[in-house]
Amino acid sequence: MCAVLGNIQRYNALLPLTNDRPLATLPVACKYRMIDFPLSSIVNANVNTVFMIFNEGETQSVFDHIGGGKEWNLDGIHNRFFIHLYQDFLKLKAQNLAYYEELIGYLEKSKSEYTVYMSSKMLCSIDLRAVMNIHQLHNNEMTVVYKKVSAENVCATDAVLSIESDGKISEVFSAKEQNNTDDLRNLCMDIYIVQTDWLISELRAGQQEGATVDLQDFLRKKIHTVKSSTYEYTGYLSNVFDINSYYRASMDMLNSKRFNSLMYSSQKIYTKLKNEVPTYYSETSEVKNSQFATGSIVEGRVENSLVSRGAHIAPNTEVLDSIIMPSAQIREGASIQYAILDKNVIVDPGVTIAGTEEKPVVVPKGAHVTNDL
Amino acid sequence: MILAGGKGTRLGKLTQKIAKPAVPFGGRYRIIDFTLSNCANSGIRNVGVITQYQPLALNNHIGNGASWGLNGINSGVTILQPYSSSEGGKWFDGTAHAIYQNIAYIDEMDPEYILVLSGDHIYKMDYEEMLEIHKKNDASLTVAVIEVPMKEASRFGIMNTDENDRIIEFQEKPENPKNNLASMGIYIFNWQQLRSVLLNSYSKDDQMLDFGKHVIPSYLDSGENVFVYRFAGYWKDVGTIDSLWEANMEFIDPSMNLDIRDKNWRVYSKNTISPPHFLTEAASVKESLIVDGCYVAGEIERSILSNDVQVKEGTTIRDSFIMPGATIGKNVTINRAIIGENAVVGDNTVIDGTEEIGVVGDSETIGVTIDED
């Protein structure tokens, strides 16, 4: 099996967290990035070649994170990955050239019978081998992964499926068009396993007809036109598309059951290794129900929060219900509640940052907070 | 050349299955990491690690040296194990004998100088600076020394020097030491000279087994230029249960002079993949170090929890060092102890090391355990 990892969708409701990084490299669960989850699922399924598509100008954090691919074992003799820019495909299309050729070349060279497509928006740990078994059993062109979720876990651009009792897809809706009043809906997770030969011929035909350059969109449109099977995913899922869903996903990590379901399933989650020192808790630290990565110094009160690598939380501070990304410095007497502090944020002594559960305050990367927010 | 072949019998249970340099330290390190990191930070490119007893964990830990950046085009770590030569297999009987047995490896590197280190000390030292002093003195041997309290001097090899730091006399564990300059077991030799001294001795009856007992006295007797290199930082031999425990306790304080948070002199280790650590509602952590993969529902004071340690509710751990993967049950009390790798301490167990440091061996199970899984 070979894999295509699409990372070109932009979600403005995640700003400023995605100001200068794609959703794929958004930090999550203290020491991971969103892309670690699909990438780990891919390598855990013994897929040894990955084709990744990113937007122009958004690749710095990607290269910084993935590097040579060592942590995902993508730097071996038999294991490889490729990074391509979405805009290059667009340019070819604008020049009326065959814009899918590079991808087709990759698919052909991989000599894989099957191809899996994933994106970084669905925070989950899926066993692609199990999906593959279903795909092989039904032997259809395409197998679509979905999960039954509540309304708040669906965003306007998502696809929702109507599924018959025999597992066949009867209809595909755009979430914003669907007037569903049920408690649960079948969220299309945009994880597809397809026959590679079929995909190649569809791409060839598609580029003749000016089909969409966005492969995720391309595949979605095919769900209904070919024989598709479905796979219902039952593990942990967070659909991350705005600040609230990101906040909820992070807070889920403080729930042991959800955390274990994501982190301690049969599959390991790989991330960039950092050589950090242990986290130190001083005599004045008071920590409850919180999660920490290494490299931090904790001298204040931390509750219901996630603290990433290399943070310093000074004495007499309060960090409650918040997400602290790497290298934050929270100085003496500061008080933070319902906030998301992006990387390298400094909070001056005595400053109060207060959001609400419904509307957490987001402090952008590198900000130096000198006044109350 | 790092001598990592000692049996480490004084560490008792902790070295039954692994070599002393591979014994865990400080939460996410193994003892040899400090020496290997010193090599990496000092710009040494070729490191031979001489092993003998229980080398599996050590070999696995060191691997190809990538964790220390020692896997480059012109660098490498070579693990040197005893093997049977045509003259018959022989394990080595002393530090100098270990070097003698590995002449072939050293010759292949063809160095001008050879640095001999031991793999069981906790310290940060710039060996390059020591080499500069060695060259400046035009020495044939330089011995690193540290000032120890006079009352402890009789436990060490003591160097008596003249006003230029030239060694005049060497006393191995003297009853009445003349000064307090203790050998750290770190030597720089001019390789060709040491090589011929060793070859010469092994061709005759007076075989030089040990650097301290035989080689240094012989150099002094032949009037060689032997100098000391004075080291003033933190240095700890962790060869006994007491010193291993003490060094770990000293390691907790972030203001201690080993300064592991100094980004200019990092201590590297093999990174393992574990999720962030989690402190529950019931947890209390004071003056302690915690690393990835831990789950803490108890009270931790002045202690170190290494990777993937679990501490259940109602448990109190004070002044203790818990090695990776240990599981501590409910309502346990641990005071002044070292708990071995993957040890299991059952519910309601009391380990009190007030009199003598308590030790639970690697993978040892103590107390009744209730299988919850």
Q: What is the DSSP letter of B332?
A: -
Going through B191-332 in order, the beta strands assigned E by DSSP cover 226-231, 235-237, 277-279, 284-286, 288-290, 295-296, 299-301, 304-305, 310-311, 316-318, 321-322, 327-328
Residue B6 has pLDDT above 80, yes or no: no
Give the pLDDT mean for A256-285: 92
**Closest CA–CA distance from residue A83 to any residue of chain B (Å):** 25
Q: CB of B290 within 8 Å of any CB in chain A?
A: yes
Chain A residue closest in CA terms to B282: A288
Q: CB of B64 within 8 Å of any CB in chain A?
A: no
How confident is residue B87, by pLDDT bands cut at 50, 70 and 90? low
| B148-158 residue pLDDT tens | 999 889 888 99
Q: CB of B71 within 8 Å of any CB in chain A?
A: no
How confident is residue B367, by pLDDT bands cut at 50, 70 and 90? confident
- Residue B275 has its nearest CB partner, among A263, A277, A288, at A263
Q: CB of B286 within 8 Å of any CB in chain A?
A: yes
Give the pLDDT mean for B219-244: 93
Q: CB of A289 within 8 Å of any CB in chain B?
A: yes
Q: CB of A43 within 8 Å of any CB in chain B?
A: no
The complex's ipTM works out to: 0.90
Note whether A362 and A346 are within 8 A (CB): no
Mean pLDDT of chain B: 91
- Residue B290 has its nearest CB partner, among A268, A273, A279, at A279
Note whether B295 and B277 are within 8 A (CB): yes
Answer whether A278 sits within 8 Å of B267, measured CB to CB: no
| A8-45 residue pLDDT tens | 999 999 999 999 899 999 999 999 999 999 999 999 99
Q: What percent of chain A has pLDDT over 90?
A: 84
Q: CB of A280 within 8 Å of any CB in chain B?
A: yes
Answer whether A281 sits within 8 Å of B278, measured CB to CB: no
| A94-111 residue pLDDT tens | 999 999 999 999 999 999
Domains for chain A: give ranges and CATH numbers.
2-263 (3.90.550.10), 280-369 (2.160.10.10)
| A111-160 residue pLDDT tens | 999 999 999 999 999 999 999 999 999 999 999 999 999 988 999 999 99
Structure tokens at A226: 């070919």
How confident is residue B90, by pLDDT bands cut at 50, 70 and 90? low
Produce one character per residue of A93-113: b if its CB has 16 or more CB atoms within 10 Å, e if not.
beeeeebbeebbebbeebebe
- Distance, CA of B267 to CA of A272 (rounded, Å): 18
pLDDT on residue B373: 53
Q: CB of A306 within 8 Å of any CB in chain B?
A: yes
Contacts of A264 in chain B (CB under 8 A): 275
- Residue A281 has its nearest CB partner, among B67, B280, B286, at B286
Answer whether A288 sits within 8 Å of B281, measured CB to CB: yes
Q: What is the DSSP letter of A105?
A: H
pLDDT on residue B160: 93
pLDDT on residue B57: 87
Q: What is the enclosing helix (H) or strand (E) of A198?
A: helix A196-208
- Distance, CA of A270 to CA of B308 (rounded, Å): 16
**Closest CA–CA distance from residue A97 to any residue of chain B (Å):** 43
pTM over 0.90: yes
Count of C-beta atoms within a 10 Å radius of residue B268: 18
**Closest CA–CA distance from residue A266 to any residue of chain B (Å):** 13
Answer whether A273 sits within 8 Å of B271, measured CB to CB: yes
Name the amino acid, one letter, at A167. G
Q: Which residue has the higher pLDDT, A204 or B6?
A: A204
- Residue A288 has its nearest CB partner, among B276, B283, B289, at B283
Look-up: residue for tokens 């793999």?
Answer: B119
- Residue B290 has its nearest CB partner, among A274, A275, A278, at A278
Q: Which residue has the higher pLDDT, A345 or A76?
A: A345
| A333-366 residue pLDDT tens | 999 999 999 999 999 999 999 999 999 999 999 9
Q: CB of B249 within 8 Å of any CB in chain A?
A: no
